[in-house]
Structure 1
């Protein structure tokens, strides 16, 4: 897919992750002013070097925490100071779990619950809220929040993650209703399993499905949503890999 995001300034949270990083690369290739946000300064430095080597506008990389209200306020302020506007936000920061293998709700500690909810749901809320003043002043803007198919149907042994992703959908639907009359769009993407380092980090690499989406494919769909004509939007898009059917050959007589 070919996109032209020249002169558009897009913030991506979770830029150090699989989907966030792929989205930064896709936006940069499409000519956007990319603002990459992640907690890891080292990961951001590597991404910045990669995008600078590719040419075009140098990204603005901000080592900030989506769970911090002050950091998200600073994110919006620094973006406006650097580029004069905020045209889009892709809220891709998220974690699956904090402690190894999948486990039941009965075995989930409060600290793990709180961390997952803080990063996935509160982080989406704070980042969304932070960009609204600039977008409202412009009378235009795009927000794409990354949820999951686990936000559509709860999955056993990942209760906190599913709950947080359900919450992102509800938050996005409410916000979309509130701001569409102001010229702002809020859309969500619900990817199926995506082949990212998250599987290895969460200790579940052995559970990876055979058919998975690539982070690049999710990123392309995010850009597609932001490139839609201004009078339409798509809410809660489920993105799944095409599972090709292999026909069994009949034995020869």
Structure 2
């Protein structure tokens, strides 16, 4: 197992892509801290599924958008496991609206969770990683951070910030043996993007994807596992797109039907 004796913290790990990441890391030997903010039952279910498969995991509550709580979360994992090797910044929300009608509060909330959570957890984990001379950060960003889409200005801006932060963090921490990379998923049918992947809108979007299908959460988790493991030891500041070829096409930035 490539991640045996490694400890991983996955934020927003109770459902969707986060839960798939937790299961995949655990399947390769990692002890996984499944972070949640409200979904205690879902986190417990993810932990139970990992343990039933022979893996090791535990649930840990924490609001990553709050700097102090993110710090408490990181310290709790380190104290319970004795160390921490991998941070997967996955927690995120969406509050889609056209710019004209978007509420300022919705703009700030998305930025606070999606980008703020990445900064808060990374900042709090760095002293431990730097002291050990080893550590991996994988940021779950989005193709939206590199492209535009109608109704996604706040979400896209938050992920664009994550991408810029990934580059800078990789440069600053490489000399400490820390690697920082990002995964850029395309459309994956999770609760977060249910309004885009269902019905006629989903059919229109599929027609703009060269592979003509949405990505499975397990397919995204496989790439995160790769970036968390030793096979990617010479990668930092890199972005891996997992979108069925969507970013290779011009597209219209909106569903077509």
For the aligned pair, the TM-score class normalised by the smaller chain equals 0.7 to 0.9
Per the TM alignment, residue 205 of structure 1 is displaced from its structure 2 partner at its CA by 2.7
Q: Deviations over 1:159-195 (max 9, x none)?
A: 0001001000011111111000110000011111112
Q: Is the 8 A contact 2:9 2:34 kept in 1?
A: yes
Instruction: Measure, in 2, the Cα distance between the counterparts of 1:25 and 1:231.
Output: 25
Q: Is the 8 A contact 1:20 1:92 kept in 2?
A: yes
- Stretches of 4+ aligned residues off by more than 6 angstroms: none
Aligned-pair Cα RMSD in Å: 1.7
1:238 counterpart = 2:241? yes
Instruction: Measure, in 2, the Cα distance between the counterparts of 1:142 and 1:240.
Output: 23
TM-score by length of 2: 0.86
> Number of matched residues?
235
**Which residue number in structure 1 is paired with residue 210 of structure 2?**
none
Q: Deviations over 1:91-149 (max 9, x none)?
A: 1111121xxxx431010001111111111000111011111111111100000001111
Looking at secondary structure, tell me which structure has more helix per residue.
2
**Which residue number in structure 2 is paired with residue 86 of structure 1?**
84
Matches within 5 A, 1:41-190: 41-57=40-56, 59-97=57-95, 102-190=96-184
Between Structure 1 and Structure 2, whose CA radius of gyration is higher? 1
Give the gaps of 5 or more residues in structure 2: 207-212, 247-257
**Which residue number in structure 2 is paired with residue 248 of structure 1?**
none
Instruction: Measure, in 1, the Cα distance between the counterparts of 2:3 and 2:16.
Output: 21
Per the TM alignment, residue 69 of structure 1 is displaced from its structure 2 partner at its CA by 1.4
TM-score by length of 1: 0.87
Q: Is the 8 A contact 1:17 1:93 kept in 2?
A: no
